[in-house]
Chain A
Amino acid sequence: MSRTWIEVAYLVAAICLVIGIKRLSHPRTARSGNWIAAVGMTIAVGFTFAIEEIDTYWLMLLGIAVGSVVGVASARMVRMTAIPQMVALFNGVGGGAAALIAAAEFHRLAPASGPLPGEELVGILFSAVVGSVSFWGSLVAYGKLQELVPGRPILFPAHNTANALLAATVVGAIALTAVTENRLWLAVLMVAALVLGLFFVLPIGGADMPVVISLLNAFTGLAAASTGFVLDNTALIIGGTLVGASGTLLTLLMGRAMGRPLRQTLFGAFGAAPEGGGHAAAAVGGDGNVRTATADDIAYMLAYARRVVFVPGYGLAVAQAQHDVRNLGGLLEDKGVDVRYAIHPVAGRMPGHMNVLLAEANVPYDELVEMDEINPEFPQTDVVVVVGANDVVNPAARNQPGNPIYGMPILDVDRAQNVVVIKRSLSPGFAGVDNPLFYDPKTVMLFDDAKAALEKLVTSLKAV
């Protein structure tokens, strides 16, 4: 097929991608937007088969077959709670693909007589470095969310020296690759870039992973666009750049939703040492004791409340307890209690994650209330039930300047009349800081797995 028709197909594909992204940013049209983008992608890939220069098909067909099986299987089998880390993995392989394309192009072009054209060289170097950083950085982010790697920020003794050395290696290898056009230096560069990805993500705490994944998503987009310059392919340039630009903005928006400027997320190395429990207790004027209660006590408290607000957190997601919290809420409504679910913008692991889980459990939309709307209502709330959330309800973020999470917007549950915290233990959350809420005299703790605790509460409530 002539190049012109292929370019026309790429134009149609690009229009589909743009409409898809536009629709993805509105709740009602999001799902169709995703499919329109997928159709655009299919058109772009389909017409690529018709490019005349291509003479071998078996290799790409085999690769697409293998990739499709892996992609379908992993997307279908992943549990809803593990979706953030799955997004990290999908992002990582995209970055890896861009880096491999750059390496193979360099391998093909380097032995040619005469220097490479400047734009090819720049494109190759950019895709190789950024793609590698994105690949390895995403794998570390996956490891942190999957808890294969500790979620806490990891810093090693000579961190600054190591970083400086690494930066020097990357810059040196870029210069040597560009001047000598020797494959060896590109290999050195790519290894250094992989280590850079590791060093970039390891010192960032697990709570900040969504923002990091979003940033790496933008990186992969730019790496893909850069391979488009190398291969003179407009579809790649448009698709990659759209993601690079929208991904960068989305990263800033997410950072804003979490109340943490991007610079602080990336270079803040948050809460490396947790504070002692005594300190947290002193902050609320309590005696340092934690009150516990039985499921029956709590069921009574709930049954005679006028207004109950549930605050679901990651613990609920891990325990798959979204249906149980819905059951408990339903029973309370039958008793005439006004029930709401307070959604912190980053409850769970990513912005919007908790909305997805509760929607799956058929919680009606109008009962899901966003942070800014529910915060003024806490003083009139009789009981708040915090289910497996920690950092997002930590009052230290509001009243302890100097605390690593100070300044993060939180749900002001400590202003409610009574607080019930369902949690497995007193251990700190992802941010690694202690929570004075647990020592507050009006808080009672129910130490249990979220699902087990909610099931017990349902049983007790039925007996009330």
Chain B
Amino acid sequence: MNAQLVVELTIFALAVFLGIELISKVPTMLHTPLMSGTNAIHGIVLIGAMLLAGTADSTLEKVFAFVAVVFGTINIVGGFLVTDRMLEMFKQRRPEDPERRE
């Protein structure tokens, strides 16, 4: 086991505790937006796809890397935008909103 792996395992262990701690008190109405927001965050896998695309030699690697970059980008872009659309609905409203009645 090399030193770099130990550092990586340390980061991993701390991130596990942090991830659990961060959302321990979330109201039910935010479950879906939170799922969608964290869903966008694992799109960070795009970075791995970029590293691969930037250094690929064989055609197979290039094809896989290209598809992975497309997938990762969809995950990030779509994920953040769709979360924003959901959260847009939660904006504070004035009680005497003119649109309230027709």
Contact = CB atoms under 8 A, between A and B. Distances in A.
- Whether both chains belong to one complex is answered with yes
Interface of A: 17-18, 20-22, 24-27, 30-31, 33-35, 37-38, 41, 44-45, 48-49, 51, 53-57, 59-60, 62-64, 66-68, 70-72, 74-76, 78, 80, 83-84, 86-87, 89-91, 93-94, 96-98, 100-101, 103-105, 107-108, 119, 210, 213-214, 217, 220-221, 223-225, 227-250, 253-254, 257, 327, 330, 334, 343, 345, 350-353, 355-357, 359-360, 362, 364-365, 370
A202 B30 CA distance: 27
In order of increasing CB-CB distance, the 3 nearest A-B pairs are A67-B73, A245-B19, A63-B69
Interface string B10-45: 011001111110111111111111111111111111
Contact of B38 (A49, A51, A70, A242): A242
A49 B50 CA distance: 8
B8 A234 contact: yes
A72 to B, nearest CB: 6
Contacts of A27: 27, 29-30, 90
Interface footprint category on B = 35 or more
A94 B75 contact: yes
B39 A362 contact: no
Contacts of A350: 31-32, 35
Nearest to A94: B75
Interface string B32-70: 111111111111111111111111111011101111111
Given A60-B54, A66-B70, A80-B85, A100 B49 contact: yes
B31 A257 contact: yes
B48 to A, nearest CB: 4
Contact of A250 (B34, B40, B57, B66): B34
B16 A245 contact: yes
A18 B49 contact: no
A107 B39 contact: no
A419 to B, nearest CB: 24
A49 B26 CA distance: 36
B100 A362 contact: yes
Given A72-B78, A247-B38, A224 B93 contact: no
Contacts, number: 396
Given A63-B53, A90-B36, 6 more contacts: A90-B40, A234-B8, A241-B16, A246-B23, A257-B28, A352-B30
A81 to B, nearest CB: 12
Contacts of A247: 19, 35, 38
B38 A217 contact: yes
B68 A104 contact: yes
Interface string B85-102: 111111101010101111
Given A70-B78, A72-B78, A239 B44 contact: yes
B73 A64 contact: yes
Contact of A229 (B8, B36, B56): B8
B89 A236 contact: no
Given A41-B43, A243-B41, A330-B102, A237 B73 contact: no
A268 to B, nearest CB: 21
Given A75-B81, A351-B29, A91 B39 contact: yes
B43 to A, nearest CB: 6
Contacts of B77: 67-68, 71-72, 75
A143 B79 CA distance: 19
A100 B71 CA distance: 10
Nearest to A88: B39
B19 A356 contact: no
25 contacts: A18-B18, A25-B34, A31-B91, A53-B51, A57-B54, A59-B56, A60-B54, A60-B65, A67-B69, A72-B78, A74-B74, A74-B78, A78-B82, A80-B86, A84-B32, A90-B36, A104-B52, A104-B65, A107-B64, A233-B47, A238-B11, A327-B102, A350-B35, A352-B33, A359-B93
Given A59-B66, A71-B76, A242 B8 contact: no
Contact of A249 (B5, B20, B27, B99): B20
A364 B45 CA distance: 40
A356 B29 CA distance: 8
B33 A56 contact: no
Contacts of B88: 31
A382 to B, nearest CB: 22
A250 B78 contact: no
B80 to A, nearest CB: 4
With most chain B CB atoms within 10 A of its CB, the pick from A90, A91, A327 is: A90
Contacts of A80: 85-86, 89
A249 B71 contact: no
A17 B93 CA distance: 28
